[in-house]
Amino acid sequence: MPALAYMLIQVEHGTIDNVSQRLMKLRQITDLHHLYGEYDIIARIEAQNPAALQDFIATKIRKIKQIKTTETLITSDVF
């Protein structure tokens, strides 16, 4: 079953464009938007299954040093 998640991302001051460019190079990220407020970016992430989603977050997203915090919202159904 495919896995779909939305990730709210907070980055270090002045790094939003750099982080956004790096994220958009990752094929699992299908949409990305800049935000106003507590978080700087929201990303839509698609993976083949929950295990692939977990691996992607751990090995790709969390390795970007300019990312301060994230909150991942995993959907319960994909239509």
Domains and CATH numbers, the chain: 3-74 (3.30.70.920)
Helices (H), the chain: 16-24, 50-56
pTM of the model: 0.91
pLDDT by residue for the chain (79 residues), tens digit each? 789 999 999 999 999 999 999 999 999 999 999 999 999 999 999 999 999 999 999 999 999 999 999 999 999 875 6
Return d(Cα 14, Cα 11) in angstroms, integer: 8
Cα-based distances in Å from 73 to 4, 27, 29, 52: 9, 19, 14, 15
